[in-house]
Structure 1
Amino acid sequence: MNPIFHMISGAPDPVAPFSHAVECEGWVFVTGQMPFSGTALDSGYPEGIEAQTHAVMANLKTVLEGCGLDLANVLSARIFLTHFDEDYARMNEVYRSHFPPGRLPARTCVGVTGLAQGARVEIDFVARR
């Protein structure tokens, strides 16, 4: 077992000590992404759950592309929402729009009491080469 620790140019700077993704034997574990509008930790988040979900998905796509993958390689997702009842339906609409019909990953979505730097949403992926 020889894991590869990916740090992706153009992806947001980590908010804690972690790699953007870790790969082992064709499995790629993509760290949860925040809705940063740029790469710096002070780039801020867009307003509202729809814009934050689009930003998270864009950051996830950047990490996947940096690993030579895309959304078609994603098998599983975990979504974390700080305002679950208020944001769940609207987040789902945006999330679904990023995947072709019939190609949705397995998924878990949970409500949490807080996310880094006050984000409303965080999403991570498990992908396979």
Structure 2
Amino acid sequence: MTKQVVFSEEANPPLPIYSQAIISGKTIYVSGSIGITRDMKLVEGGVQAQTRVALDNMTKVLKGAGVDRTAVVKCNVFLADLPRDFAPMNEVYLEYFPVDPPARTCIGVAALPLGADMEIECIAELP
């Protein structure tokens, strides 16, 4: 099986240490995204602002693979403070997946890159 690297110039600044996404067969594996600016700084506004930016970046990577959010079948969300941030993160998440949302896991973690409040990754399918 071959794999194809997905790259979107519009998404978070490209880092040479990972691929934004990988297509293998008809499956797209999108790397985790946190709410950062192009100059690698966390956005202000807490978990809701970070969730919005992370989901926007995830959407741009999916677009680079030729699909949109409706192709997402599974998301994993990581929260640095699960009890505090689950409800506000979920409000924003539901804006992006208002109908037939993908399967999802939400996990509390000890820390995230750059001190982020949240990170999200997803798996999507090509048509």
TM-score (norm 2): 0.93
Query: What is the Cα deviation at residue 65 of structure 1?
Result: 0.8
Task: Find the counterpart in structure 1 of residue 103 from structure 2.
Answer: 106
Match of 1:94 among 84, 89, 92: 92
Instruction: Report the 3-state secondary structure (helix = DSSP H, G, I; strand = E; otherwise coil) of the residue aligned with 2:58.
Output: helix
The aligned residue for residue 36 of structure 2 is: 36
CA distance in 1, matches of 2:118, 2:18: 18
Runs of at least 4 residues off by over 6 Å:
none
Question: Which residue number corresponds to residue 48 of structure 1?
Answer: 46
**Unpaired stretches in structure 1, ≥5 consecutive residues:** none
Residue 47 to residue 100, structure 1, CA distance change in 2 (3 Å): closer
**1:1-129 pair list within 5 angstroms:** 1-14=1-14, 17-37=17-37, 39-41=38-40, 43-101=41-99, 103-129=100-126
Offset at 1:99? 1.3
Q: Is the 8 A contact 1:75 1:126 kept in 2?
A: yes
Deviates more, 1:114-123 or 1:13-22: 13-22
Give unmatched runs, 5+ long, in structure 2. none
| Deviation, structure 1 residue 40 | 2.8
Report the CA distance between 1:14 and its aligned residue: 4.7
What do residues 4-52 of structure 1 show as CA deviations (whole Å, max 9, x unaligned)? Answer: 0122211112567110000011100000011013x232x4322211111
Q: How large is the RMSD of aligned CA atoms in angstroms?
A: 1.4
Is the 1:36–1:46 Cα contact (8 Å) retained in structure 2? no
> Match of 2:122, as an amino acid?
F
3-state SS of 2:30 partner: strand
Q: How many residues align structurally?
A: 126
**In the superposition, relative to structure 1, how do residues 34 and 16 fare at CA in structure 2: closer, same or farther (>3 Å)?**
farther
